[in-house]
Structure 1
Amino acid sequence: MRLARILLGIVLIAGAGFFGFQMTGSFLAAAPEPGPGAGPGSGAPQALRVMTEPVEELDFAETVEAVGTTRARRSVELRPTTSGRVETLSFAPGDEVTAGTVLLRLEDASEQAALKAAEATLAEAQAAFDRQERLQASGSASEAAFDSARATLLRAEAERDMAAAELDDMVLRAPFDGVVGFTDLAEGQLVDSADPVTSLDDLALVEVAFSVPERVMGRVRLGQTVSLISAAWPDRVFAGSISAMDTRVDPATRSVALRAEVDNSDRALKPGMFIEVTLVLSERRAAAVPERALTVSGEQSYIHVVRDGRAARVDVVAGQSMGSRIEVSGDLEPGTLVITSNLHRISDGASVDPIAPQQAQVATP
Structure 2
Amino acid sequence: MWRPMLIMIAVVLVIVAIIAGVKFVQISALIAQSKAPLPAAVVTAMRVPYAEWQPGVTAVGSIKAVRGVDVTTEVGGIVRSIGFKPGQQVADQALLVQLNADSDIAQLHSLEATADLAVIVLKRDKAQLAVNAVSQAQVDTDSADLKAKLAAAEQQRALVAKKSIRAPFAGRIGITAVNPGQYLNPGDKIATLQTFDPIYIDFTVPQTQLEQIAIGQKVAVTADGLADQIFCGRVSTIDTQFDPTTRNVTVEATVANPQQSLVPGMFARAIVDSGKPQRYLTVAQTSVTYNPYGTTVFIATSSKNDKGEEVLTAQQSFIKTGPTRGDQVAILEGVKEGDLLITSGQMKLKNGSPVQIDNSAAPLNDPAPTPQEH
Counterparts of 1:28-107 in structure 2 under 5 Å?
53=47, 55-66=49-60, 68-107=61-100
> Is the CA contact (8 Å cut-off) linking 2:204 and 2:250 kept in structure 1?
yes
Give the counterpart letter for 1:222 in structure 2. Answer: I
Determine helix, strand or coil for the equivalent of 1:94.
coil
Q: 1:167 aligns with which of 157, 160, 170?
A: 160
Cα deviation, residue 324, structure 1: 7.4
Q: Hey, what does 1:126 align to over in structure 2? A: 119
Give the counterpart letter for 1:64 in structure 2. Answer: T
Cα deviation, residue 141, structure 1: 4.1
Determine helix, strand or coil for the equivalent of 2:75.
coil
Q: 1:325 to 1:171 in 2, by over 3 A?
A: closer
Q: Hey, what does 2:211 align to over in structure 1? A: 218
Q: Hey, what does 2:29 align to over in structure 1? A: none
Cα deviation, residue 271, structure 1: 1.6
Q: 1:106 to 1:270 in 2, by over 3 A?
A: same
Q: 1:178 aligns with which of 157, 165, 171?
A: 171
Q: 1:6 to 1:261 in 2, by over 3 A?
A: farther
> Is the CA contact (8 Å cut-off) linking 1:85 and 1:188 kept in structure 2?
yes
Measured against aligned partners, the alpha-carbon deviations of 1:19-69 in whole angstroms (never above 9, x if no partner) come to xxxxxxxxxxxxxxxxxxxxxxxxxxxxxxxx9957534124243333x22
Normalising to structure 2: TM-score of the pair?
Answer: 0.68
Determine helix, strand or coil for the equivalent of 1:234.
coil
> Is the CA contact (8 Å cut-off) linking 1:87 and 1:107 kept in structure 2?
yes
> Is the CA contact (8 Å cut-off) linking 1:63 and 1:282 kept in structure 2?
no
* Aligned mates of 2:334, 2:137 — CA distance in 1: 102
Unaligned ranges ≥5, structure 1: 19-50, 307-313, 346-356, 358-365
> Is the CA contact (8 Å cut-off) linking 1:290 and 1:326 kept in structure 2?
yes
> Is the CA contact (8 Å cut-off) linking 1:288 and 1:325 kept in structure 2?
no
The answer on 1:266 being equivalent to 2:259 is yes
Give the counterpart letter for 1:327 in structure 2. Answer: A
Measured against aligned partners, the alpha-carbon deviations of 1:307-359 in whole angstroms (never above 9, x if no partner) come to xxxxxxx99854234577653457999xx654558x956xxxxxxxxxxx9xx
The answer on 1:320 being equivalent to 2:323 is yes
Determine helix, strand or coil for the equivalent of 1:233.
coil
The answer on 1:7 being equivalent to 2:10 is yes
Cα deviation, residue 136, structure 1: 3.8
> Is the CA contact (8 Å cut-off) linking 2:111 and 2:153 kept in structure 1?
yes
* Aligned mates of 2:325, 2:246 — CA distance in 1: 30
Q: Hey, what does 1:230 align to over in structure 2? A: 223
* Aligned mates of 1:14, 1:222 — CA distance in 2: 92
> Which stretch has the larger CA shift, 162-171 or 224-233?
224-233
> Is the CA contact (8 Å cut-off) linking 1:289 and 1:326 kept in structure 2?
yes
> Is the CA contact (8 Å cut-off) linking 2:76 and 2:184 kept in structure 1?
yes
**What is the percentage of aligned positions where both structures have the same residue?**
24
> Is the CA contact (8 Å cut-off) linking 2:320 and 2:334 kept in structure 1?
no
Cα deviation, residue 266, structure 1: 1.1
Q: Hey, what does 1:205 align to over in structure 2? A: 198
* Aligned mates of 2:230, 2:5 — CA distance in 1: 91
Q: 1:52 to 1:259 in 2, by over 3 A?
A: closer
Give the counterpart letter for 1:147 in structure 2. Answer: D
Give the counterpart letter for 2:114 in structure 1. Answer: T
Cα deviation, residue 192, structure 1: 0.9
> Is the CA contact (8 Å cut-off) linking 2:231 and 2:257 kept in structure 1?
no
RMSD of aligned alpha carbons: 4.0
Counting strand residues as a fraction of each chain, which structure ranks higher?
Answer: 1
The answer on 1:240 being equivalent to 2:240 is no
